[in-house]
Structure 1
Amino acid sequence: MSETQEISTAPAPFNNPDHDIVLRSVDAVDFHNFKLILSLVSPIFKDMFTLPQNESEPAVPIIPVTEPSTILYPLLLLSYPSASADPVFNSIDDARDLIATQFLPTYSLNIYAVSCLAGCQHHARIAAARSLEIKGLGRPSSGFAGMGAISAFDYHRLLKYHYECGIAAQAVGKSLEWLPSTPSINDMRMWRCHICRRVALDRPTIQIASFGKLTINPWFEEYLVASGRELAARPCELTILESVYYDRAIAKARDCLSCRVAVHHDLATFRNFYITEVKKAIAKVILLIMINSNLT
């Protein structure tokens, strides 16, 4: 939203003066709503409203959202108790956008199929990126209802995209030259522990930022290799956040008198950089979407 954009208020039922929360669309339309209603229909809002409110925040919070008002209005109307009419769309494109917004988190493959069939390249790419959260996509168990509506070539492109993203994500952990060359990175226990280095003298080295090739601790090497395998099958941020090998690495690091002092801080810091770099690597993989000639 532009700073000079004039803010307006949405039509009924989202203009109630007794509201306790405002959702501001990307095109500067304020939707007056109620925390209770939003918390009942959205677990995201429910969790958000349980957080303590900062004293400096306004009495009625304003939450910016990425959807335009043409999408936000019918989306909110679907779950609004006082709405007496069905949502009305200004165009087929708006209806498509609403469907993608509502069902993408759970039905990414179906949204991909519908988007390919309709020639919606933008939504197809978004759905394909979300499908990276599906582990081992391409196995027979990954079939979905919309598969019959698209060509084998469309599905092949999706599998190829998933595979190439897995290769790119796994490669991130094979060299850590992307880490920032700061003193705190240089001093991390994963490659500076004097106790572990005595044990790991004959182990392979890996590039760390611009500090050269350094010998990494066995517990950290195991974490990099294991998380890389996981990313090859499920190349997304959630894989790193949910990896059981993260806790295993911490548990093994505690066996070292030196590593145990800083392992929680160092590994958490590394994981944040790791996630960012994996997302960058995945973003470089291009999914080619062909417009369905039957619809033109």
Structure 2
Amino acid sequence: MADSSTPNTSPQAAVSPDTKPRSAGTPFDSQRPGVDIILRSSDRVDFYMHKFVLSLASPIFESTFIIPQPQTADDGPPVVDLPEDSPTLESILRLCNPVPPPTFTRIADIRRVWEAALKYEMDGVRAGVLVFLDSFLDKDPLGVFALGCRANREDLCQAAATRLLHHSLRSIQSDELRYLSAYSYSKLAEWHARCCDAAAEVTTKRYWFASNGVLSLWEARCQCTNCWLPDHTPSQNRWYACQFVWDYLRRAQGILESSPRSAAITSEDVIGSSDIWYPCTCSSITCGTRYRHYEWERRTIPMILGQNVDRAVSEVRVAVKTISCV
């Protein structure tokens, strides 16, 4: 699902060509020994570099340096003007020099570095900058997916798509969505919908049921119509359960239809309090479910359901390889 197009980077603030250039900070300032080239960013920041290092990192720079560069008025190193802004250029240079790596607070900054590295054919920088996407998987999985598609990185696409199962795809947004093709997004939405269907379907199946204090196979444990109700879902076996069990399954089904993961249905808000799992409405004196708390069942049923939901969704993930780049 890779998008082969390369959109323009976000517009940068215009800087007057008359603005006096300023030196970059350490380790790219003018104090470095052996400096023989200056890279000047679009916002007039000078990075003092070594041609040899840049030539190893980029064949584009290597071919550029074959052409004699004009000397500066003060007999300093020649200057090469670049269209990238100083934060982008500094990140690129940190990734191809033996200095501390850059830090990123936005996916947009990673994207700009990746796009520049693509332009300058800096394969090491392109691969290196994508490592930083891992820290954005929880904050912006859709953004990670978008850049993963453009970079043809199946592992990033899969990781981001899996994180997106924690959300309703209809509600999650990302500024990076503008760089994702309609085709790629449609394949993601298709896979997400299939995961939702697989997860929600588990609530209608009974293969994971087991008899316990609130679930009974073949017969109700009380003849009243308040505490033991039959299952209305077609099944090979006939199950009876307390009303709050069927209510919980309906709540879980509704949630899984948009958020197909176990964590979405095992929270206290979804399961319900202990008071809800307490069948005290029975009119029969002989009913064995009267005046009992079913805390074990309240924990176990959602846990087992969640395990089967995750298993069903994982099978969709393995089967639908088109979620990754093509």
Q: What TM-score range do you get, normalising by the shorter chain?
A: 0.5 to 0.7
The correspondence for 1:264, drawn from 292, 295, 311, is 295
Q: Gapped runs of 5+ residues in structure 2? A: 1-97, 103-122, 281-287
Shift of 1:202: 6.5
Q: Tell me, in whole angstroms, the C-alpha distance in 2 between the residues paired with 1:290 and 1:282.
A: 16
Asked which structure has the greater CA Rg, the reply is: 2
Please name the residue that 1:116 is paired with.
149
Within a 5 Å distance, the mapping from 1:1-296 to structure 2 comes to: 85-87=99-101, 92-96=126-130, 98-135=131-168, 137-138=169-170, 141-179=171-209, 185-191=210-216, 194-195=221-222, 198-199=225-226, 203-205=230-232, 212-242=237-267, 244-248=269-273, 250-256=274-280, 258=289, 261-285=292-316, 286-289=320-323, 291=325
Shift of 1:254: 1.6
Shift of 1:134: 1.3
Q: Does the aligned pair in 1 maintain the 2:142–2:176 contact within 8 Å? A: yes
Q: Does the aligned pair in 2 maintain the 1:189–1:259 contact within 8 Å? A: no
Alignment CA distance shift 1:243-1:234 (3 Å) = farther
Shift of 1:205: 4.5
SS in 2 for 1:235: coil
Q: Tell me, in whole angstroms, the C-alpha distance in 1 between the residues paired with 2:234 and 2:296.
A: 21
Q: Tell me, in whole angstroms, the C-alpha distance in 2 between the residues paired with 1:207 and 1:178.
A: 15
Q: Tell me, in whole angstroms, the C-alpha distance in 2 between the residues paired with 1:200 and 1:254.
A: 10
Alignment CA distance shift 1:85-1:220 (3 Å) = same
The one-letter code sitting in structure 1 at the alignment partner of 2:158 is: R
Q: Tell me, in whole angstroms, the C-alpha distance in 1 between the residues paired with 2:127 and 2:224.
A: 59
Q: Tell me, in whole angstroms, the C-alpha distance in 1 between the residues paired with 2:154 and 2:244.
A: 43
Shift of 1:287: 4.6
In the comparison of the two structures, how many residue pairs are matched?
197
Per mean C-alpha deviation after superposition, the further-off stretch among 114-123 and 86-95 is 86-95
1:234-276: CA deviations, max 9, x gaps? 111221123623115x432224372663521012112221111
Alignment CA distance shift 1:201-1:251 (3 Å) = closer
Please report the TM-score for the alignment, with normalisation by the length of structure 1: 0.58
Q: Does the aligned pair in 2 maintain the 1:207–1:214 contact within 8 Å? A: no
Shift of 1:150: 1.5
Shift of 1:206: 5.2
Alignment CA distance shift 1:261-1:233 (3 Å) = same
Q: Tell me, in whole angstroms, the C-alpha distance in 2 between the residues paired with 1:103 and 1:222.
A: 37
1:191-243: CA deviations, max 9, x gaps? 377348653676434589x9x32122211101101111001111112211236
1:84-105: CA deviations, max 9, x gaps? 9422896643432x22321111
Please name the residue that 1:30 is paired with.
none
Q: Tell me, in whole angstroms, the C-alpha distance in 1 between the residues paired with 2:255 and 2:212.
A: 27
Shift of 1:283: 0.9
Q: Tell me, in whole angstroms, the C-alpha distance in 1 between the residues paired with 2:259 and 2:223.
A: 31
Alignment CA distance shift 1:172-1:106 (3 Å) = same
